[in-house]
Structure 1
Amino acid sequence: MNDQRTAVLTDTGSDCPPEFVAAHDVRIVPLRINYSDGSTYESGVDISTDEVVARFEQEVPKTSLPSPERIQDELLRAKADGYTSAVFVSISSGLSATCETVRMVARTLDDFPVLIVDTLNIGVAAGLIVMEAVRQVEAGVPLGSLERTLSIAAKNTNVFFTVRDLEFLRRGGRISETIYKLGSVLSIKPVLTCDEEGHYAIAKKARGWERALDTECKLIEGLAAKYPKVRLAVSCTSACADLYDQMEAALRERVDVPVVEVVRSEISPALLVHTGPTLVGVAVQGL
């Protein structure tokens, strides 16, 4: 427990390295994965990324936010463990109702203040904001000052991702039928991001997989130049795990400002449902 006795919680729409989560007692509230036979799983708890991929041939499941009861249970567990307040860092409110549900639950708790941080991001970019929340709490920043600090961190964090296979983005409505057809016929790959409202947006289009990956790095290069130093992140599915080294090397080569670290994290099962098994994402956090 940190000296502030402030717990840090997040959901599985935010990807943090498991070793960081374990070392800093980050509490995880899982999104749910639902199949048509009525079975429901908690993302990363009782179903893994590889298990979701293995079942894709039979069915692409749906996802849903954590129940209010599950959120409440995790907050009360933190209180019972001796924490006196909490910071909940949430997947973008533009992509999920998780953030608003946490707000609703937090209002019902007595003598346990909860700060909710809307990352306006997803995946490893949201994970960078979780990690920053931990650093700030452990540095002794009081709860009353964290909202502004973490809002700035969220504003200064951006994600870009692309996929080799566009089918899952089409099924989930993340790209239009036109973009899907162009991608299939002409091998045009959209590079997606989260806009200022936290909604998915197409940042660029590239012809071919390698150019799409290069475009991600160029976009990071441009954003990184605005800051004195940056923290970077790379996220890959197991099918693309061989690209971690390639992407980190490319980012380090392109980014001219000091790089504090490059975080690596896999994509959670709940996010994989919407992107498919060929995602490669990168993120930058200005410092």
Structure 2
Amino acid sequence: MNDQRIAVLTDTGSDCPAEFAAAHDVRVVPLRINYSDGSSYESGVDITTDEVVERFEQEVPKTSLPSPERIADEFARAKADGYKAAVFVSISSGLSATCDTVRMVARTMEDFPVVVVDTLSIGVAAGLVVMEAVRQVEEGVPLSDLEQTLGMVARNTNVFFTVRDLEYLRRGGRITETIYRLGSVLNIKPVLTCDEEGHYVIAKKARGWDRALDTELKLIAAIAEKHPKVRLAVSCTSACADLYDRMESVLRERVGNAIEVVRSDISPALLVHTGPNLVGVAVQGL
């Protein structure tokens, strides 16, 4: 129960499960997806992941952050709905200017204090931080403590992901031309993560898709051993949706201290940079 009337907001760079967001009134500010013909869409609002994939043959679009006006409107809407303050959980500042823009807008809000949390991560890992923000708000953690406590949560949350096709990571500058060419010729799949500053880095390399998936699981299990309890998450694009059960089953088998395994879809804005075949996993130390 949110007796403090603190709104929880996030962006579509953070994949919080839709059912959880709806049940707890998590407000989502969408990143934008832009095409060369001038058309522009709000990620997850007026364009879906499947629609982005359908247009890949014609064009891989660009993405952009929400406008300050769009962010301010969402804060104003939360205030009008009776909330007294807000916490905004953002995609990594190392990957997007969204976090800095939210901070700028937050400083302009009158009589509506806002705490901004930089997850230093992306996708389902950032989504786990959103979910923990909701729990802390509903448990009565005061606004003044949320930035510090959720900052610690973010530092204890890790993401790993891999893709079948390296082309989209190359186009987005996420991997070098050398890694792309070697990977394509030798069937080497990089497993990516976010470093302490929230930038993409390669955690491991594996030969072949199945080995890359297993490498993700091994990395998660190794981190889980360092914590008394963990919360896990799996995120797959629709083209890889058949892997949800397999990934969750292996995680439960290998990670004995997991209290939950969350599933979440991948937003259209993230799909632009990774392509239609992606599987990600996350671990949050508790």
Report the TM range for the smaller structure's normalisation: over 0.9
Q: Match of 1:264?
A: 263
Query: What is the SS of the residue equivalent to 2:231?
Result: strand
Residues 211-226 of structure 1: pairs in structure 2 closer than 5 A: 211-226=211-226
Q: Match of 1:277?
A: 276
Q: Match of 1:76?
A: 76
Shift of 1:54: 0.2
Q: Match of 2:237?
A: 237
CA distance in structure 2 between the aligned counterparts of 1:22 and 1:233, rounded to whole angstroms: 18
Whether 1:85 and 2:85 are equivalent positions in the alignment is yes
CA distance in structure 1 between the aligned counterparts of 2:115 and 2:17, rounded to whole angstroms: 23
Question: Structure 1 counterpart of 2:27, which letter?
Answer: R
CA distance in structure 2 between the aligned counterparts of 1:36 and 1:173, rounded to whole angstroms: 19
Query: What is the SS of the residue equivalent to 2:190?
Result: strand
Q: Match of 1:118?
A: 118
Query: What is the SS of the residue equivalent to 1:242?
Result: helix
CA distance in structure 2 between the aligned counterparts of 1:110 and 1:266, rounded to whole angstroms: 35
Shift of 1:163: 0.2
Q: Match of 1:202?
A: 202
Whether 1:37 and 2:30 are equivalent positions in the alignment is no
Question: Structure 2 counterpart of 1:98, which letter?
Answer: T
Query: What is the SS of the residue equivalent to 2:281?
Result: strand
| 1:161-188: CA deviation from partner (whole Å, max 9, x where unpaired) | 0001111001001011111111111100
Q: Match of 1:167?
A: 167
Question: Structure 1 counterpart of 2:282, which letter?
Answer: A
CA distance in structure 2 between the aligned counterparts of 1:62 and 1:176, rounded to whole angstroms: 19
Question: Structure 2 counterpart of 1:215, which letter?
Answer: T
Shift of 1:78: 0.1
Shift of 1:84: 0.4
Shift of 1:145: 1.0
CA RMSD of aligned residues (A): 0.6
CA distance in structure 1 between the aligned counterparts of 2:136 and 2:244, rounded to whole angstroms: 28
Query: What is the SS of the residue equivalent to 1:88?
Result: strand
Query: What is the SS of the residue equivalent to 2:189?
Result: strand
Uncovered stretches (5+) of structure 2, i.e. residues with no partner: none
CA distance in structure 1 between the aligned counterparts of 2:26 and 2:126, rounded to whole angstroms: 14
CA distance in structure 1 between the aligned counterparts of 2:204 and 2:216, rounded to whole angstroms: 9
| 1:185-217: CA deviation from partner (whole Å, max 9, x where unpaired) | 110000000000000000000000000000000
Q: Match of 1:102?
A: 102
Q: Match of 1:188?
A: 188
Shift of 1:94: 0.2
| 1:244-279: CA deviation from partner (whole Å, max 9, x where unpaired) | 0000111111113x2111000011000000000000
CA distance in structure 2 between the aligned counterparts of 1:34 and 1:139, rounded to whole angstroms: 39
Uncovered stretches (5+) of structure 1, i.e. residues with no partner: none
CA distance in structure 2 between the aligned counterparts of 1:55 and 1:183, rounded to whole angstroms: 25
CA distance in structure 2 between the aligned counterparts of 1:145 and 1:274, rounded to whole angstroms: 34
Q: Match of 2:28?
A: 28
Shift of 1:48: 0.2
Shift of 1:281: 0.2
Shift of 1:147: 1.2
| 1:44-70: CA deviation from partner (whole Å, max 9, x where unpaired) | 000000000000000000000000000
CA distance in structure 1 between the aligned counterparts of 2:38 and 2:147, rounded to whole angstroms: 39
CA distance in structure 2 between the aligned counterparts of 1:142 and 1:187, rounded to whole angstroms: 50
Question: Structure 2 counterpart of 1:87, which letter?
Answer: V
**TM-score of the two chains, using structure 1 as the length reference:** 0.99
